[in-house]
Amino acid sequence: MKAGPRTRKPWGGRFKQATDPGVEAYTASIQFDRRLYKYDIAGSVAHARMLAKCGLLTKAEADKITAGLEEIVGEIERGEFRFDPSLEDIHMAIEARLIEKVGEAGAKLHTGRSRNDQVALDLRLYQREEIGEVLRLVAGLERALIAQAEAHLDLIMPGYTHMQRAQPVLLAHHLMAYVEMLERDRARLYDALRRVDVLPLGSGALAGVGLPIDRRFVARELRFRALSANSLDAVSDRDFVIEPLFAFALLMAHLSRLAEEIVLWASAEFGFIELPDAFATGSSMMPQKKNPDVAELARGKTGRVYGALVALLTIVKGLPLSYNRDLQEDKEPLFDSVESVKATLLVMASLVSRLTFCADRMRQAAEDGFLNATDLADYLVRKGMPFRQAHEVVGLLVRRALTRRCRIEELSLDELQAASPLFEWDVFAYIALEACIKRRTATGGTATGAVKKAIKAAKVKLRSR
């Protein structure tokens, strides 16, 4: 029988013609999946040791393969490794180089596995490491927020609904709201990590492996907590990519909300914060400008991560079992998202830790805008007036204060009693900002004591994981 074309492709025996160069370029993934090299090699070392244990390789062959793979790691990290696009992906590139280095033993490494379960393994190892790094960075941002909250426990600012001043709150309480968001993000990532931490190797191309292999041995070598239960699912599953991507997308939503407030607070209209010079930029035309570019880019990069999530969901929505080449498109969105999330967490933690809060401006904003109106209504409720009636009475007093261009507490007692005889001299102490804050002692409230408890609880959670 006539041999097929000269080729380094592992399927060359089946084909009479070499791959078209355009097809080769179109289908290659080596330009981006090369970053998986250390995970691919770690999986190959564990696989070789397992093959030797099961008698499918000799110990000498396994040792030779392991030594060759370790040399390849050094070549890649020193920049000496040649990534040949004709070899398509990182798996084939490493295998080809291994065969060059150790000969026939290297050609035996692929025994009992497919690139389908191999790439699933590499991605899971990559995800496991990167999720761990993201978790560390989320905790870093939480610590920065907590430190600022502790440093400003008594700083009063306006709380907002509908972007309108609503009620007075503590800045610390406001900052701790983001800590709550980030804690949920961490919980989601820890939960997703359990489903990432599953060994797919041994699934073969789709139907398992007909050779006597030991999957549990490989799982122990690579420290996986579980084995995949269905070979068809294992090679075509990308839930372990999509689920962390969803967690990343929601994490970025929270970072974008924080970034938006930094942008607003740094504006002259708010003036609540002063940006550190090292985290702002100027204008090439307007000398006075100090722009919050870091926060703006955090908002912008959120869209990239959303796009990656939608891309992956779209890729898998119409795929029949099992593996399809569409799944090659999972890596670039994932890699880009991981880098975007890590970079944003790192720079936002540094920015938050160096913000200067303008206490006087925040206090003035809290004193203006009738933020104690609800407390004034509550005062009447405590005197026995139904809340709906109290709401109307205070609304009339707000209108009067607007007409006079003064605050509610600047109205005289006579003016208050004209609206309701229930008002007494103690009303002015009751609606002072500190009193409004102090009364909210219930769990989750804005009182200083409640915020201190929230800070303590957050620190405990950070230490416990």
- How many Cβ atoms sit within 10 Å of the Cβ of residue 225? 11
Strand partners, 156: 170
Per the residue annotation, which of 231, 236, 283, 337 is the catalytic one?
A: 283
Give the containing element (helix H, strand E) for 330: none
C-alpha 133/C-alpha 430 separation (Å) is 49
* Three-point CA angle 174, 277, 291, nearest 5°: 75
Q: Read out DSSP for 53-118?
A: HTTSS-HHHHHHHHHHHHHHHHHHHTT-----GGG-SHHHHHHHHHHHHHTHHHHTTTTT--HHHH
Longest Cα separation, the chain: 111
> Which of 86, 91, 110, 162 is flagged as catalytic?
162
User: Could you tell me if 227 and 219 are in contact, meaning their C-beta atoms sit under 8 angstroms apart?
Assistant: yes
Task: Take residue 89 and report the two structure tokens written for it.
Answer: 């992906």
Residue holding tokens 């609304």?
Answer: 395
Beta strand 273-274 with 356-357 is: antiparallel
Cα(257)–Cα(422) distance, integer angstroms: 42
- Structure tokens of 414? 């006579």
Coil/strand/helix, residue 235: helix
Annotated catalytic, 162? yes
| Cβ atoms of 91 and 40 closer than 8 Å | yes
3-state SS assignment for residue 198:
strand
Output the DSSP codes for 143-182: HHHHHHHHHTTT-EEEEEETTEEEEEEEHHHHHHHHHHHH
CA distances from 458 to 26, 97, 255, 349, 354 (A): 49, 50, 18, 16, 21
The dihedral built from the CA positions of residue 73, 77, 78 and 79, taken in this order, carries a sign that is positive
Q: Which helix (H) or strand (E) holds 273?
A: strand 273-274
* Catalytic residue set: 162, 283
